[in-house]
């Protein structure tokens, strides 16, 4: 029983981390959309997605369950970007 609760807590924490990290990476990718750095942040999003799926698969031992949870979290991330919006700003160098 305690192990099952720990697994649910791990899934919850991993999902929240995934959503927040991909939201931040999406904002950075959109901020650098006219720069070569866009590729770096986009690739980082893909890497985080792969790590999240692997971690969820280790916990659930189900490829279908892992894929469904990944899709649900991805849709939450997209909804977060759409409804909350993106961080708007400009790149300011440290030295001026």
Tell me the average pLDDT across 68-88. 88
Structural domain including 70 reads 2-84
Domain assignment present for residue 28? The answer is yes
pLDDT digits (tens, 9 = 90+) for 7-50: 899 999 999 999 999 999 998 888 888 888 889 999 999 999 99
Domain assignment present for residue 92? The answer is no
Q: What are the angstrom distances between the C-alpha of 64 and each of 5, 6, 14, 20, 36?
A: 21, 21, 17, 23, 35
- Count of domains observed in the chain: 1
Q: What is the CA radius of gyration of the chain?
A: 16
For a pLDDT cut of 70, what percent of the chain falls above it? 90
Domain assignment present for residue 90? The answer is no
């Amino acid at each position: 029983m305690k192990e099952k609760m720990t697994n649910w807590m791990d899934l919850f924490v991993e999902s929240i981390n995934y959503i927040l990290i991909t939201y931040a990476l999406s904002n950075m990718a959109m901020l650098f959309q006219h720069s070569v750095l866009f590729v770096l942040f986009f690739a980082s999003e893909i890497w985080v997605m792969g790590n999240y799926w692997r971690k969820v698969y280790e916990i659930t031992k189900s490829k279908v369950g892992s894929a469904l949870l990944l899709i649900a979290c991805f849709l939450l991330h997209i909804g977060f970007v759409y409804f909350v919006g993106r961080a708007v700003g400009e790149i300011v160098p440290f030295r001026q």
